[in-house]
Amino acid sequence: MDEKKARILVADNDPSFLYAFEFIFGEDYEVFQVQDGLSARALAEQESFDLIVLDVMMPPTGFDEGFQVCEYLKMNPKTNNIPVIIVTNRSEQDRTRAMEVGAEAYFTKPFNQSELRQIIENLLDQSRK
Amino acid sequence: MRSLNIYNISAIVICAMYIVFAYFTYTRHKKSATIIKFATFCVVYSIYCFSIFLLFGFNNNAVSILSTILIVIGAFVPTILCDFLLTVANVRKKEYWIAYIFPIVFILVSIYHATKSQIIDYGTHKFYSPNPVLVIGVPTLFLLLVIYTALRFRVAYRTIRSPDRIKFLKRLFMGIYIVIPAAIFDIAFYTKIFGVFPFSLPMLIGYVYQIMHILDLESLNRQRTEYIMSLTHELKSPLTPIQMLINGLESKIAPEPKTKEALQVIAYEIERYKNLINNLYLISNVELDRPEPIKINKEPIVLSRIVADVITIFRDGAGRKGIQLTHQSNGNNPTILVDSDLVRQVLINLISNSIKYTMSGGKVNVDVSYSEKRVYVSVSDTGAGIPKKDQSTIFEKFYRAENIKQTGEGGAGLGLSITKMIVEAHGGKIFVESKHGEGSKFTFYLPIEEPVGR
């Protein structure tokens, strides 16, 4: 591991999920938590992150906020090079939508977490190069 | 020969219309338990048709007979069918008789009438001779028609009070669209029978509500399924952090063996729970008639790896029940293109079924073998087996074989039907071989698609 931990932004309206994410990845990465789409956008613009993990159903729009945030971040020149992972407990059917808005990876909850870890590491490696 | 008149034309129009409606209504219900009530109804209704024919059909004019047959087969069968299905689907149990009242009244009146002479002159549309049927039968019929209409009105009204205004207007529009030809038919039909059109307004209102009721039932069904879908979402949400934390605890804290085992039991049960929710989700997707109910996201995987993964999850659970869970794979384990999550779901369904219905001391074996174009996976057990008569029906939704119900094991009857759908959506097939008391063997194959450009 390099001296500086990678910074990950996680947005999910479920505090338990955020806690679990921090519990598992908190040692290896610096995890920032937000609970809605607006603060996710704001924080992603203010600070610099190496990776963003987004839930789909979040306030304020509820239904597809994660996709909207992803689209927004990918349009923004400041943030468009940060890899995005979309994590949702909606079905596999949304995978195409996730790819359309430019997300690098898509996971349905509950997921295999070693797979998630693998993907996170791969994406971080790619963006370091 | 009489040319086409308003009776014939309206009969044909109504025929076509109701056939379409009956079709839609029927396809909505054919898979539910309503089928038994439906069969009972068919018997009652065939008698009804026959009696209608007795009442109105014995006429020396061939065209008139034809039109009567058309009316009976085309208009009445589907109408009453719709009525029946709607009523049993929507009304509380003790009100089922509403569905029968119309045909029963006709049967009673017409059987009595059929024994008497003809009372209607079809040329002038007038009654002849004071017949006891006219004096007692017809007023009774009218009265019952009114009661029937009023009851239908009430039943429909209860369903129709939807808060959604836009949908309501849409339904109203469609209702009117269907009721206008229906009204023409009614006027023609009742005028032909009774010489006058007796209860035009209540009948019309009855029809409007009836049609709206049909449309409403559709949306009710949808709402229910959509509700189940959103419910599966809610059921899934808390699982994610639970599962993450359990895995995290297991790998981080290095717990003592006993705690570790407890954590594994929790993880195993969560896996089963998750699979049940996935099944429920898929089945409601199919119910909603989505264009692609089971969407397949093919990705290159090594099938044996998924099998091994699922086996690892279930090995401990099987061990606790005293069942030996083994697996073999022959061949060179090529990378194939399938939807890994769905295939995983298939394996979990089959393996957990086998474990469930195998007694302690038994064996469950998973075998993967490759041919040139297909990969075969079979899950065999030494469990209760499936009686021959159940083997063709176990893949049906909600079906559970008689002998397994007696084992006292719970189940929703979803697993195998989902499994079949997933396998078939991949272009594969699933079979069962089983001997009662000796065990069963489920085999499915998936076509091998080599990943392109990898």
Shortest CB distance from A14 goes to which of B241, B247, B270?
B241
Instruction: Give the A-side interface with B, CB within 8 Å.
Output: 14, 16-17, 19-21, 23-24, 89-93, 95, 108-111, 113
Tell me how far CA of residue B95 lies from CA of B40, B86, B87, B89, in angstroms. 16, 12, 8, 11
pLDDT number for residue A30: 92
Q: How far is CA B116 from the centre of its chain?
A: 44
Count the alpha carbons within 13 Å of B61 in the hemisphere toward its beta carbon: 11
Distance CA B381, CA B410 (A): 19
| Higher pLDDT pick, B303 / B187 | B303
pLDDT number for residue B90: 47
Distance CA B367, CA B386 (A): 20
Kindly list the residues from chain B whose CB atom is less than 8 angstroms away from the CB atom of residue A16. 238, 241
Tell me how far CA of residue B23 lies from CA of A74, B16, B430, in angstroms. 48, 11, 30
Average pLDDT over residues B231-238: 80
Q: In B, residues 126-155, which contact A (CB 8 Å cutoff)?
A: none
Residue B196 clears pLDDT 50, i.e. is over it: no
Contact assignment for B240 to A19 by CB distance below 8 Å: no
Q: Does B295 touch chain A (CB under 8 A)?
A: yes
Residue B73 clears pLDDT 60, i.e. is over it: no
pLDDT number for residue B97: 52
Q: Does B294 touch chain A (CB under 8 A)?
A: no
Residue B117 clears pLDDT 90, i.e. is over it: no
| Stretch among B67-76, B163-172, B263-272, B337-346 having the lowest mean pLDDT | B163-172
**DSSP letter assigned to residue B412:** -
**DSSP letter assigned to residue B384:** S
pLDDT number for residue B310: 85
pLDDT number for residue B229: 75
Summarize pLDDT for B268-277 with one digit per residue, the tens: 888 888 888 8
| Higher pLDDT pick, B111 / B393 | B393
The alpha carbon of residue B450 is apart from the nearest alpha carbon of chain A, in Å, by: 22
Closest CA to B14 of B204, B180, B176: B180
Q: Specify the pTM.
A: 0.55
Summarize pLDDT for B11-40 with one digit per residue, the tens: 455 545 545 554 554 554 444 444 444 444
pLDDT number for residue A31: 93
The full length of chain B comes to 454
Is residue B325 within 8 A of residue B315, CB to CB? The reply is yes
pLDDT number for residue B318: 83
Is residue B278 within 8 A of residue B297, CB to CB? The reply is no
pLDDT number for residue B323: 87
pLDDT number for residue B418: 83
Kindly list the residues from chain A whose CB atom is less than 8 angstroms away from the CB atom of residue B425. none
The alpha carbon of residue A25 is apart from the nearest alpha carbon of chain B, in Å, by: 9
b/e burial code for range B130-163 (CB count within 10 A of at least 16 → b): ebebbeebbeebeebbeebbebbbebbeebbeee
Kindly list the residues from chain A whose CB atom is less than 8 angstroms away from the CB atom of residue B297. 92, 95
Summarize pLDDT for B335-389 with one digit per residue, the tens: 888 888 888 889 988 988 888 888 888 888 988 888 888 888 999 888 877 887 7
- Interface A-B, measured as beta-carbon pairs within 8 A, has a size of 56
Distance CA B92, CA B81 (A): 18
pLDDT number for residue B165: 42
H, E, C per residue of B245-306? HHHHHHHHHCCCHHHHHHHHHHHHHHHHHHHHHHHHHHHHHHHCCCCCCCCCCCEEEEHHHH
The alpha carbon of residue A82 is apart from the nearest alpha carbon of chain B, in Å, by: 25
Kindly list the residues from chain B whose CB atom is less than 8 angstroms away from the CB atom of residue A20. 240-241, 244-245, 248
Query: In chain B, what percentage of residues exceed pLDDT 70?
Result: 44
State which residue of chain B sits closest to A95, comparing Cα positions.
B297
End-to-end alpha-carbon separation of chain A, Å?
15
Summarize pLDDT for B297-311 with one digit per residue, the tens: 777 888 888 888 888
Mutate to test the interface with B, among A12, A14, A16 (most CBs of B within 10 A): A16
What residues in chain A have per-residue pLDDT under 70? Answer: 1-3, 90-93, 110, 129
Residue B454 clears pLDDT 50, i.e. is over it: no
Q: In B, residues 171-200, which contact A (CB 8 Å cutoff)?
A: none
pLDDT number for residue B214: 54
Contact assignment for A20 to B274 by CB distance below 8 Å: no
